[in-house]
Chain A
Amino acid sequence: MKKVQFSRPLFPYLLLIPQLSIIAVFFYWPAAEAIRSSFFLEDPFGFGSTFVGLDNYRDAVTSSEYVNVATFTVWFTALVAFLSLSLSLLLAIKADAVLKGAKTYRVLLMWVYAIAPPVAGLMGILLFDQSLGPFTHLMALFGHDFKLGVNYYDTTTAIVIVSVWKQIPINFIFFLAGLQSIPRSVREAALIDNPSGISRFFTVTLPLLAPTAFFLLIINITYALFDTFGIFDIMFKGEPGNNPTTLVYKVFLDGFRGNDLGGSSAQSVILMILVLGLTVVQFRMMERRVHYT
């Protein structure tokens, strides 16, 4: 906070009224509602609800379907984060190294940021389509009959590729900015001490990039958990069937299609706690970064 401040009794409240009222109505009220209804069993026909304590949580966590979806979500998140982080790190290092055309490459590698996940999903359907898709034809050359939306693993492969594709730009932008902020003097000193490119990368560049990489890891986890919703929803054409789903998708399915209000809310609350944990870790990292700079 500033040392010099205005002290008007009413003015700051006037400034805060719009933000606070929106938050109260559209954040605190729904969040409280989610927590409340997670302890109740709602009658499907709307005739009241009964308090069931932690039953919704127990039912959610112990159901084999939930365990499957959770396991898939963990694998999916890890795969998407690992692939998109490593690919974009490679591209950022190369874009930082070339002397000519660096700016052109930056544009070419970041513009996909602006494409919405469902639009990416629609393009994914075309590329992986059973009859149209070039990727399907490519797989056929290797003797594999690629079936999007039918074969569980094929669908997963397609969704992972589209999700990674969509996430490369933002990782690339941050990695490149991180690389470019490494001072020239440090690079030159490292070059004199250690002429081998690969070992210099692991001993000098990577440790200096670690805060960026960690920040991006959290961003990527949140992306894989929440923002891929549109990709999933479009890629199995709104018919989940026996296709892979994530935890967030299941909250949506149970709440809006299955009308299981209590169960959906309990799953929401579990996700809230998960995100809360992630954000706390992220804040601590941000504080640390601010201290160093």
Chain B
Amino acid sequence: MTDVQISSASTATARRPRKIKWRAVGDHAILIAGALFMLLPVMLTLTTSSYDNVTIHKEGIQWFFGDQLAENYNRAMFEKGGFTQTVDGFKMLMNSLILGIGFAVGKIVIAMMAAYAIVYFRFRFGTIAFWMIFTTLLLPLEVRILPSYEVVQSLGMLNTYAGLIIPLIASATGTFYFRQFFRAVPEELLEAARIDGAGPVKFFIDILVPLSRTMIAAMFIIMFVYGWNQYLWPTLMTTDESMFTLVRGIKQIMQVWIGANIPDYGVAMSLAIIAMTPPVAIVIFFQNWFVKGLTESDK
């Protein structure tokens, strides 16, 4: 008797959560399918990058790891390639780092200074400066690409890091985010600082910069990924192969590919994996800052 009661009670309690669970199983199935959809192309590129070119050419994309992984990555990183045989993956990696970090740091420093001036100072041409800066949000580099190229050319900045980085900074997204952020900083802070006799430089360095630390970190991640992933501008700007970035180098791979009998698949895929690893690692590692920066700054 008691046994029956217990079992019926347990089935009654077990049945209700099961109803909800089926729904959860469906949710998980959709999410797992989505995650696989995102992962699979990269996974296949990674596994195929561990085979030699003849195998890839004969048998197509590989689903499991082969034995040429170290060999292919070693060649991608250190074998001189391209038309002039002067650039290797390591050099391109360095150029990508310079572009990513230079762009992120330059943009943050310039944007913070400009946003500080706009939010915390009363001065004669303040409104004009504000509109001059924010008009740049309206037009992305792609629509003024040809004249931008000509300007950089006439300044003799082709194939230089400055020519690569500075024109990309000429948009006010960073300034806009920092302006929003500074405006939300409580007014009392400035009053208190002024009573204590802090000047504008001291207030900026001792109070505003430490307060913005999270914002700066989030901006750095977003801007680094943006800079690293630039394609059109570096493609136009750099004709000298020693200035190529990894993402720019992808195009070069394709151009060598077209003429080849058996294209160098292994190295091409290794380079693709190398080109995506640093930004992906940063986004995954600092995901909380990244998501926060992305969703809060755009509001």
Contact = CB atoms under 8 A, between A and B. Distances in A.
Given A12-B117, A122-B268, A268-B144, A275 B138 contact: yes
Nearest to B62: A132
Contacts of A279: 137-138
A240 interface: no
Interface in B133-165: 133, 136-140, 142-148, 150-152, 155
B255 interface: yes
Interface residues of A, number: 102
Contacts, number: 301
Interface stretch (B3-11, B70-78, B81-89, B224-232): B224-232
Contact of B146 (A2, A25, A34, A120): A34
A11 B124 CA distance: 12
Contacts of B257: 237
B236 interface: yes
Given A18-B113, A94-B27, A33 B150 contact: yes
A157 to B, nearest CB: 15
A119 B276 contact: yes
Given A7-B121, A229-B142, A126 B269 contact: yes
Size bracket, chain B contacts: 35 or more
B145 A251 contact: yes
Contacts of B122: 5-7
A215 B298 contact: yes
Given A27-B136, A173-B295, A256-B236, A237 B38 contact: no
B31 A94 contact: yes
Interface stretch (A70-78, A98-106, A199-207): A98-106
Contacts of B114: 15-16, 18-20
A19 B133 contact: yes
Main secondary structure of the interface of B (DSSP, over half): helix
A186 interface: no
B166 to A, nearest CB: 6
A13 interface: yes
A97 interface: yes
A23 B250 contact: no
Given A12-B123, A27-B171, A131-B57, 14 more contacts: A6-B200, A27-B170, A97-B27, A98-B24, A116-B228, A118-B251, A119-B276, A126-B61, A132-B57, A134-B60, A173-B295, A233-B235, A268-B144, A275-B139
